[in-house]
Chain A
Amino acid sequence: MSLLDIRGVSKHFGGIRAIEDISFSLKSSTIMSIIGPNGAGKTTLFNCLTGFIKPTKGTIVFAGTDISGFSADRVTRLGIARTFQNIRLFGGMTVIENVMVAQHATIRSNLFSIITRTGTFKETERSVRETAYEYLEFMGLESAAEHTAGSLPYGAQRRLEIARTLATGASLILLDEPTAGMNPLETDGMMQMIKNIREMGKTVIIIEHDMKFVMGISDRIVVLDHGVKIAEGMPKEIKNNPLVIEAYLGKEAH
């Protein structure tokens, strides 16, 4: 059974059709890439999937629940977490606090236990901190745990954003251009990390422009152009698809 089922999703802004009638489905523990030229509607699709915008038409079924129209925080609590194209960290909080915020929905402390500092509360807080630290280790950020998030170098900020999505406990992770602005060495490291995330049993969807990266990591690729899905398949199939080549190189290349 598939983890995610997108059926006929469209989003119109006024008269502009940002995405039109997009359908695909995704199995657990796979990595899918969404590629396409600028303005193809990739980020709009992400925003629809994560509840930041409501699709005009269509349904999104995640793990058996129709989540179309749910609010962003509810979608996250159901198990889809994302990163942002232009990194959105809690800049004034420390690195570890960023990851602790992400565990918000996984813990249940009420006002009474917080104020009286019950044993359970202290235990929960300790485990939140430990879990946060584990995710930081996983993304290679443990040495920066007490630094302010806003002071991290760019690549580390991207990794922290991913650590945060993992800490939400989500089973589907959406990464919006995870290697943007990284050097080749950092990109290779990122590729390994994303593969590790798949090994954890999570499912990943990536928006990415770096073709070498996409071809090297994806189990499946969806290609969008002008808001429409023009191809879907294994990396090898996509590489030789004439429609894809045309979308990327433009008609004048013929």
Chain B
Amino acid sequence: MLLQQLINGLTLGSVYALIALGYTMVYGILELINFAHGEIYMLGAYLGIIILGFLTAVGLTAYSMPLALALTLLLTIIFSASYGFTVEKIAYRPLRAAPKLSPLISAIGVSIFLQNYVMITQGSTDKVFPSLIGSAGFTVLSTRVTMLQAAIIVVSGIIMALLHAFIRSTRTGKAMRAVAQDRSMAALVGINTDTIISVTFIIGSGLAAIAGLMVSMYYGLVNYFIGYSAGIKAFTAAVLGGIGNIPGAMFGGILLGLIESLGAAYISSEYKDAYAFIILIVILLVRPTGLLGRDVEEKI
């Protein structure tokens, strides 16, 4: 029972972590809470279903399942990343010099827009993801782990390791860190900060899309409002690990997933959705820099 909950929590947590990375990277660079990030995840979930449906219709799925899945993943990432890129360009870029709360309000507008955009074009009823892998799985220590759960945990782990390596060692990754440290200084040494900001949104959106695709496969159902609560939870995860801190977001995501599934099992499942909010409030009040963060002082 406990082990089963841990596996469930870990699966959920990996997904939160993937979304949380987008929040944390954007906050690290722009100090903006990208409220619409959860909607990109929702778009990813829808796009996965739509694209796979299209590939099935043209017969690719019947021809080669792995190929169809790979193509679905690729196209989902490309489309979602394009949405993320566009959102930044339209709704945030013109507000760079605006008072700090304007971009946050604009982000709320984007979030409402995207939710209704999907509802109008795709309908307000649940969308079903075709069951491909079924409930195949294996048993470890008398605990059942489905293939999908294993895949989600493994894929998330690999992606996070790749992201870590990317930010540590590539030229672009270093530029991202430089922009996060000090934007005007980075611009002075010749980094094109606008490009780096776009790249950040593209990467963050791609990660959210992967999370969306995996979740729609995991639950088999998506709806246009899943982005809001997933977004808040992922944001909570980012805050837990110290916003702006990339390993922190992964840690926070997994911690939150575990808390949720253990809380639902042992405390109360009715208040399951409240846990994230309670944690968010408590962390912000007690340790706003997150569990892994460092303190900063305001300049006078």
CB of B189 closer than 8 Å to a CB of A: no
Chain A residues with CB below 8 A from B300, complex form = 43, 47, 52-53, 84
Q: On chain A, which size bracket covers the interface? A: under 10
Q: How far is the CB of A83 from chain B (nearest CB, A)?
A: 12
Q: On chain B, which size bracket covers the interface? A: under 10
Q: How far is the CB of B142 from chain A (nearest CB, A)?
A: 52
Chain A minimum-CB-distance residue to B299: A86
1/0 contact string of B277-300 vs chain A (CB within 8 Å): 000000000000000000000001
Q: How far is the CB of A82 from chain B (nearest CB, A)?
A: 10
Chain B residues with CB below 8 A from A47, complex form = 300
Roughly how many angstroms separate A38 CA and B300 CA in the complex, as a whole number?
Answer: 16
Residues of A49-95 contacting chain B, CB below 8 A: 52-53, 84
Chain B minimum-CB-distance residue to A88: B300
Q: How far is the CB of B229 from chain A (nearest CB, A)?
A: 37
Chain B minimum-CB-distance residue to A47: B300
Chain B residues with CB below 8 A from A52, complex form = 300
Roughly how many angstroms separate A43 CA and B300 CA in the complex, as a whole number?
Answer: 9
Chain B residues with CB below 8 A from A84, complex form = 300
Residues of A22-56 contacting chain B, CB below 8 A: 43, 47, 52-53
Q: How far is the CB of B2 from chain A (nearest CB, A)?
A: 43
Q: How far is the CB of A88 from chain B (nearest CB, A)?
A: 9
Roughly how many angstroms separate A52 CA and B298 CA in the complex, as a whole number?
Answer: 11
Q: How far is the CB of A68 from chain B (nearest CB, A)?
A: 17
Roughly how many angstroms separate A47 CA and B299 CA in the complex, as a whole number?
Answer: 11
Roughly how many angstroms separate A71 CA and B57 CA in the complex, as a whole number?
Answer: 70
Roughly how many angstroms separate A47 CA and B300 CA in the complex, as a whole number?
Answer: 8
Chain A minimum-CB-distance residue to B300: A52
Residues of B242-300 contacting chain A, CB below 8 A: 300
Chain B residues with CB below 8 A from A53, complex form = 300
Q: How far is the CB of B84 from chain A (nearest CB, A)?
A: 34
Chain B residues with CB below 8 A from A43, complex form = 300
Roughly how many angstroms separate A84 CA and B299 CA in the complex, as a whole number?
Answer: 12
Roughly how many angstroms separate A84 CA and B300 CA in the complex, as a whole number?
Answer: 8
Q: How far is the CB of A71 from chain B (nearest CB, A)?
A: 14
Residues of B183-209 contacting chain A, CB below 8 A: none
Roughly how many angstroms separate A53 CA and B297 CA in the complex, as a whole number?
Answer: 11
1/0 contact string of B168-191 vs chain A (CB within 8 Å): 000000000000000000000000
Q: How far is the CB of A56 from chain B (nearest CB, A)?
A: 14
Residues of B at the A interface (CB closer than 8 Å) are 300
5 contacts between A and B (CB under 8 A): A43-B300, A47-B300, A52-B300, A53-B300, A84-B300
Residues of A at the B interface (CB closer than 8 Å) are 43, 47, 52-53, 84
5 shortest interchain CB distances as A-B pairs: A52-B300, A47-B300, A84-B300, A53-B300, A43-B300
